[in-house]
Amino acid sequence: MSEQNPAFQASSVRPTEVRSLKVSPGFTLVELLIGIFLSLFIGGMALTFMVSSSQSFRAQTNDAVSNENARFVLEQLSQYIRMAGWIQSPNSEAVSNVIVNQRLCPVDESAISDGDASRCSADNIAGGSDRLAVEFVIHNNVGTATTTLCNGNTVSSPAGSSLLLAHVFWTADLDVPADNTRSLYCQPLNLSANTPIGPAVPLVDGIDRLEVQYGVDSNGDQVIDQYQSYTNLVAADAGGLSNTRNVRAIRFAVLVNAGLADVGDSNIEQGGNKQYQLLDGPQVVFQNDRVFRQVYSSTVLIHNSL
């Protein structure tokens, strides 16, 4: 039996081991499109939720600030209106009307937004807002009578003398430079000298308009017969009805916002022409406006009326 050749044995070929490789097929175009669509859908839903939440938050904030501004302005105006006709001392011989009648505001009054010298209580001054001026008297028989006014200034009247004063209210944008946000301003007047007492000060921001009506008890039965604008009140006085002496209440309405101008992201209202009606005043129209506004009103009885 012949032996195998060692060289042949060494060079013998072994069976080749073939490993099976699992090849990944990847994503098809349809799967990629579905994945992109789902990603965009989820992202869009999240973005929509964030924008909606942001708008809802701004809307709630604007509404809350507007309500707070309205509450404050109603309290402030009511407080000062109740002083109409007030005389500090019952022994004073001075006579105080409820509202300023037939008196002119001083020509140099910086507080008057249109710079005119019309009556202090007037309808539709610059900006379409009413101006209200309520009279009162400080007087004391003993010692000096001192009163703090709406702008923080104090005024004193020597013993035995009387000082006829008024608080004047209107809305304007007197900031320099103007910030396109109107405020309720107040300035005291010394009606005895027909001069302002100190500067005008803003009491509340975001008050676009003020409209005033005067409740008249023309027959003295302690029941208000009608509410009139100042123009009709003075016209009635010209006819001898003395309506300015028969004012027993003041009704007022204010158009209030959150103290913001129309500056894009600050407001969430859709743009457009907005119309508002305050009592019997002219319709207030804002063109292409996005500011959130609301109308508030109140009626204050005058307990010091003659």
180-228 tens-digit pLDDT: 788 898 988 888 888 888 888 889 888 989 999 999 888 878 888 889 8
Residues 107-143 have pLDDT tens digits of 544 545 444 556 778 887 766 788 888 988 887 776 7
pLDDT higher than threshold 60 for residue 262: no
Residue 116: both structure tokens together: 């005119």
Sheet holding 293-301, edge to edge: 226-228, 207-216, 247-257, 293-301
**Distance set, CA 100 to CA 230, 241, 259, 275 (Å):** 10, 17, 30, 31
Q: What angle do CA 37, 39, 45 make, to 5 degrees?
A: 100
Give the model's pLDDT for residue 145.
73
Give the model's pLDDT for residue 265.
45
Which pTM value belongs to this model?
0.77
- Range 151-178 average pLDDT: 83
3-state secondary structure of 11: coil
Residue 190: both structure tokens together: 């010394």
| 79 residue type, one letter | Q
pLDDT higher than threshold 60 for residue 282: yes
Torsion on CA atoms 246, 84, 104, 204, rounded to nearest 10: -130
Give the model's pLDDT for residue 99.
85
Pairing of strands 201-205, 183-190: antiparallel
